[in-house]
């Protein structure tokens, strides 16, 4: 996976984890809240229904009381009697005293509509009501309760009028009701900060002030009374400003008026916006904890994953490399064998020619020297080619080590013996510093010999003439350490990077194949060790081979 | 006495030349290209040293040929010619009674050296046997001649 892919993966994990933790929680919270809200709404509705019922009963009682008193009085008295203002005043005061007030004034009107007698704050004697709607209705029906209206007084009021008849003809006893007292009863049904109670008539006109709607008497209430049935009805409505209003209504006054109790459903319902700061803080801290935990754990697992993937990739690359090298090794071995046979033949043929050249007649030939030189070249190059195939086979054979107990000091001594003669010729001193306490290790003796031979051969080549090679062994807690130092020409930094590459050489074609160190590197890797080089141009080189004291699982596998 | 050498190698070019060179050195040399032919040859004649290529494609494998030869002519010394890939088989061959092995491509001088050593060993062996036979003939049971 590439870097951005890990980022996308990490983001996805975080989102999914957060969703998984939040969605059920939110659903649960919502369900609980919803259940609670529903129960709460039902309670509110019940309470409102109860209130509206109680209040409507009081209002009907209030009206009924006055209607009964007025009609009883009218029926038992006579026009002549009440036409006397002192009698009328007596009646007015009696009623108001007995019923706790409520009448503003009291008047007597004859069948022609003339106002005959009047007790009250206004002076209405002499007015004629024939043209007024209520007058005609009371004459027709016998008893009548008006809607609230302005009338001659230019004050909102409503009247209760009863018709009576005696010898002198029909007459009307009419009382004006104080809308204030009436409204006071209505307001008993109001609750809370926003609760409202008011009366409207069948046309939706306010018959009492509405506190919530800020509507005065006689203003249109904006409500549709037809939505309310004959018994107590609950109507829900959402206003434009988002308030959820509940209206409970009951018809009163012989279905002429509608008592409406209104309440904001959400007023007492706890909502999220009502949460206290500490609750919000706790909630936010919890939220933060969840988010942080999610991000951290996700980050950790994605990092782990990334690491795993990288390890796997490395392992894969290593396996592929090993495969490649094995294939290369097989091929090298095949090629070397194929070349070895013809080389052998060429060598013997050349030898045969040399044998013949020894004979007298050839020796005398003019071209003897030419033949001899040509043969020498053939032999030389056969040897050179032989060296290549030899190294290639060594390379191929570095593939599978054969483990046995090996004494490293012993192997080094053997290797140095090989080179002793050559070193002496070139004036090269060989110093050894062997630590006799190093233990035997499990390794491949012949491959190690090849390793040391390659390194020391290179050292000899680097010195050319006159110099010192120092070979030292030692150990630390886990490894054997072998240092091979020379005072040769050193390795320039540009070359250093490539010395372990197959076929990389700085030597003349007949001297180096460039396989020595690549074989060395592979062998040491196979044996579970490492090889490092330190070198300064012109000052010499030190190769350090580190071999494990005990084989790790990796090496065995 | 002439040293008799048998060379067994499937590579004819190599075989021919090596035979010629050994002849020129004064060795009585015969070349064959397979293990089977070698077995026929040793039935016909007695050889002191046998040069045997260990890896021969098709037919009899070098090590099998070695076993056969050793069972038929136990006194003939066998020098194995081996490539890099067959060094392990050569070691096995030594255990089966080969005198030595030479890595191909072999230097002719080295080869001659090895043949000489093998012949010396064989001759020595022959001597011992001859002496033992004489002892037997003279009926001196129990007496041992000092040989070295
Ligand atoms: N001790 C050393 N001092 C200086 N240069 C070195 C030394 N060892 C190795 N090198 C450099 O590293 C190169 C690669 O070495 P390597 O042994 O792989 O090949 P080579 O010696 O050139 O050929 P081959 O070993 O196959 O005959 C050498 O050509 C040389 O330039
Ligand atoms: Mg080298």
How big is the A-B interface in CB pairs under 8 Å? Answer: 50
* Residue of minimum CA distance from atom 31 in ligand 1: A506
B14 to A337: CB separation less than 8 angstroms, yes or no: no
pLDDT at A178: 81
Assigned fold of A399-556: Heat Shock Protein 90 (3.30.565)
Q: Where are the domains of chain A?
A: 1-267, 399-556
Judge whether A375 is closer than 8 Å to chain B, CB to CB. Answer: no
ipTM over 0.95: no
With tokens 């009338």, the residue in question is A151
pLDDT at B28: 94
Q: CA quadruple A101, A102, A108, A114: dihedral positive or negative? A: positive
- Among A169-183, A534-548, B49-63, B77-91, name the one with the lowest average pLDDT: B77-91
With tokens 């590579």, the residue in question is B11
pLDDT at A397: 66
List, in order, residues 6 or more apart from A538 with CB less than 8 Å away: A489, A490
pLDDT at B141: 54
Q: Which ligand neighbours the alpha carbon of A514 most closely?
A: 1
Residue B103's SS3 state is: strand
Segment (H or E) for B30: strand B28-32
Average pLDDT over residues A524-544: 93
pLDDT at B147: 46
Give per-residue pLDDT as tens, A267-276.
766 666 666 7
B108 to A337: CB separation less than 8 angstroms, yes or no: no
* Residue of minimum CA distance from atom 28 in ligand 1: A505
Judge whether A345 is closer than 8 Å to chain B, CB to CB. Answer: yes
pTM exceeds 0.90: no
Q: Give the helix, strand, coil percentages of chain A, each rounded to 5.
A: 50, 20, 25
* CB-based contact B86:B102 (threshold 8 Å): no
Residue A549's SS3 state is: coil
Chain A positions in Cβ-Cβ contact with residue B11 (cut-off 8 Å): 341, 344-345
Judge whether A347 is closer than 8 Å to chain B, CB to CB. Answer: yes
Q: Does residue A506 have its Cβ closer than 6 Å to ligand 1?
A: yes
Minimal Cα–Cα distance from B37 to chain A, Å? 21
According to DSSP, residue A466 is labeled S
Minimal Cα–Cα distance from B14 to chain A, Å? 5
Q: Which ligand neighbours the alpha carbon of A387 most closely?
A: 1
Measured CA to CA, the distance from residue A422 to residue A463 in angstroms comes to 12
Nearest to A454 by CA among A503, A391, A517, A525: A517
List, in order, residues 6 or more apart from B88 with CB less than 8 Å away: none
A351 to B21: CB separation less than 8 angstroms, yes or no: yes
Return the bridge partners of A215, or none.
A210
Indicate the pLDDT class of residue A553, thresholds 50, 70 and 90: low
Give per-residue pLDDT as tens, A373-425.
999 999 888 888 888 887 777 767 666 677 888 999 999 998 888 788 788 88
List, in order, residues 6 or more apart from A209 with CB less than 8 Å away: A183, A198, A215, A216, A217
* CB-based contact A176:A158 (threshold 8 Å): yes
With tokens 């926003």, the residue in question is A194
A344 to B11: CB separation less than 8 angstroms, yes or no: yes
pLDDT for residue A153 is more than 80: no
Indicate the pLDDT class of residue A215, thresholds 50, 70 and 90: low
Measured CA to CA, the distance from residue B82 to residue B97 in angstroms comes to 15
pLDDT at A546: 96
Average pLDDT over residues A26-39: 87
* CB-based contact A204:A215 (threshold 8 Å): no
Give per-residue pLDDT as tens, B18-39.
999 999 989 999 999 999 999 9
A345 to B18: CB separation less than 8 angstroms, yes or no: no
pLDDT at B148: 44
Average pLDDT over residues A434-460: 90
Greater model confidence, A485 or A44: A485
pLDDT at A557: 44
B104 to A393: CB separation less than 8 angstroms, yes or no: no
pLDDT for residue A185 is more than 50: yes
Closest CB to A336 among B14, B84, B106: B84
Domain A1-267 has CATH 3.30.450.20: yes
Which CATH number is correct for B4-138, 2.30.30.90, 2.40.50.140, 3.40.50.2300, 3.90.25.10?
3.40.50.2300
Residues of chain B with pLDDT under 70: 1, 56-58, 84-88, 139-148
pLDDT at A433: 94
Greater model confidence, B1 or A30: A30
* Residue of minimum CA distance from atom 25 in ligand 1: A516
* CB-based contact A110:A169 (threshold 8 Å): yes
Which among A516, A522, A533, A544 is the best mutation to test ligand 1's pocket, defined by most ligand atoms within 8 Å of the CB? A516
Tokens of B79: 């020098």
Greater model confidence, A126 or A120: A120
Measured CA to CA, the distance from residue A335 to residue A382 in angstroms comes to 15
Chain A positions in Cβ-Cβ contact with residue B21 (cut-off 8 Å): 348, 351-352, 355
B104 to A348: CB separation less than 8 angstroms, yes or no: no
- Whole-number average pLDDT of chain A: 85
Tokens of A248: 């409970």
Q: Does residue A176 have its Cβ closer than 6 Å to ligand 1?
A: no
A interface mutation test: which of B27, B88, B105 has the most A CBs within 10 A? Answer: B105
Chain B positions in Cβ-Cβ contact with residue A340 (cut-off 8 Å): 83-84, 104-105
């Amino acid at each position: 996976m590439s870097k951005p892919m890990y980022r996308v993966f990490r983001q996805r994990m975080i989102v999914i984890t957060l969703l998984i933790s939040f969605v059920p929680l939110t659903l649960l919270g919502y369900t609980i809240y919803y259940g609670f809200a529903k129960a709460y709404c039902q309670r509110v509705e019940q309470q409102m229904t109860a209130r509206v019922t109680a209040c409507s009963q009081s209002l009907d009682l209030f009206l009924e009381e006055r209607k009964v008193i007025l009609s009883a009085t009218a029926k038992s008295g006579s026009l002549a009697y009440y036409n006397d203002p002192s009698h009328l005043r007596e009646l007015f005061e009696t009623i108001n005293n007995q019923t706790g007030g409520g009448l503003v004034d009291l008047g007597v009107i004859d069948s022609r509509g003339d106002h005959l007698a009047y007790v009250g704050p206004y002076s209405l004697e002499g007015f004629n009501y024939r043209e007024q709607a209520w007058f005609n209705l009371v004459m027709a029906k016998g008893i009548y309760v008006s809607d609230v209206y302005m009338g001659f007084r230019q004050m909102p009021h409503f009247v209760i009028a009863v018709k009576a008849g005696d010898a002198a003809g029909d007459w009307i006893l009419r009382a004006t009701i104080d809308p204030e007292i009436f409204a006071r009863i209505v307001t008993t049904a109001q609750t809370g900060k926003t609760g409202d109670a008011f009366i409207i008539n069948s046309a939706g006109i306010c018959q009492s002030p509405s506190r919530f709607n800020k509507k005065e008497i006689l203003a249109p209430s904006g409500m549709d009374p037809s939505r309310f049935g004959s018994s107590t009805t609950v109507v829900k409505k959402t206003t434009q400003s988002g308030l959820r209003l509940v209206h409970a209504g009951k018809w009163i006054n012989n279905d002429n008026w509608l008592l409406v109790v209104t309440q904001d459903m959400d007023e007492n319902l706890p909502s999220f916006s009502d949460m206290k700061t500490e609750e919000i803080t706790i909630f936010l801290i919890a939220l933060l904890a969840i988010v942080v935990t999610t991000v951290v754990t996700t980050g950790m697992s994605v990092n782990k994953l990334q690491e795993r993937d990288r390890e796997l990739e490395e392992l894969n690359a290593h396996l592929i490399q090993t495969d490649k090298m094995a294939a290369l090794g097989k091929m090298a071995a095949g090629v070397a064998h194929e070349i070895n046979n013809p080389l052998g033949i060429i060598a013997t043929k050349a030898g045969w020619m040399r044998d013949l050249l020894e004979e007298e007649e050839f020796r005398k030939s003019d071209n003897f020297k030419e033949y001899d030189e040509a043969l020498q070249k053939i032999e030389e190059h056969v040897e050179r080619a032989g060296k290549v195939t030899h190294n290639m086979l060594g390379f191929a054979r570095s593939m599978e080590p054969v483990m046995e107990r090996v004494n490293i000091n012993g192997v080094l001594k053997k290797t140095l013996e090989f080179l002793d003669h050559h070193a002496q010729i070139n004036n090269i001193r060989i110093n050894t510093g062997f630590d006799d306490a190093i233990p035997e290790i499990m390794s491949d003796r012949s491959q190690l010999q090849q390793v040391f031979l390659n390194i020391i051969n290179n050292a000899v080549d680097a010195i050319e003439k006159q110099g010192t090679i120092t070979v030292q062994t030692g150990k630390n807690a886990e490894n054997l350490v072998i240092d091979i130092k020379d005072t040769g020409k050193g390795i320039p930094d540009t070359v250093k990077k490539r010395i372990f590459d197959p076929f990389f050489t700085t030597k003349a074609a007949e001297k180096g194949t460039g396989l020595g160190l690549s074989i060395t590197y592979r062998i040491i890797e196979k044996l579970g060790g490492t090889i490092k080089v330190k070198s300064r141009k012109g000052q010499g080189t030190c190769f350090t081979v580190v071999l494990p004291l005990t084989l790790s699982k990796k090496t065995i596998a | 006495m002439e040293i008799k050498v048998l060379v067994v190698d499937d590579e004819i070019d190599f075989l021919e030349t090596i035979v010629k060179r050994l002849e020129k050195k004064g060795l009585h040399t015969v070349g064959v290209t397979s293990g089977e032919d070698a077995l026929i040859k040793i039935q016909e004649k007695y050889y002191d040293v046998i040069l045997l290529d260990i890896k021969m494609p098709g037919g009899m494998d070098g090590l099998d040929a070695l076993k056969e030869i050793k069972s038929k002519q136990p006194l003939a010394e066998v020098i194995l010619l081996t490539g890099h890939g067959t060094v392990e088989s050569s070691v096995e061959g030594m255990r089966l009674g080969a005198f030595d092995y030479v890595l191909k491509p072999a230097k002719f001088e080295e080869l001659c050296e090895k043949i000489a050593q093998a012949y010396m060993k064989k001759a020595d062996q022959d001597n011992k046997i001859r002496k033992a036979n004489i002892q037997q003939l003279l009926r001196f049971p129990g007496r041992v001649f000092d040989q070295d």
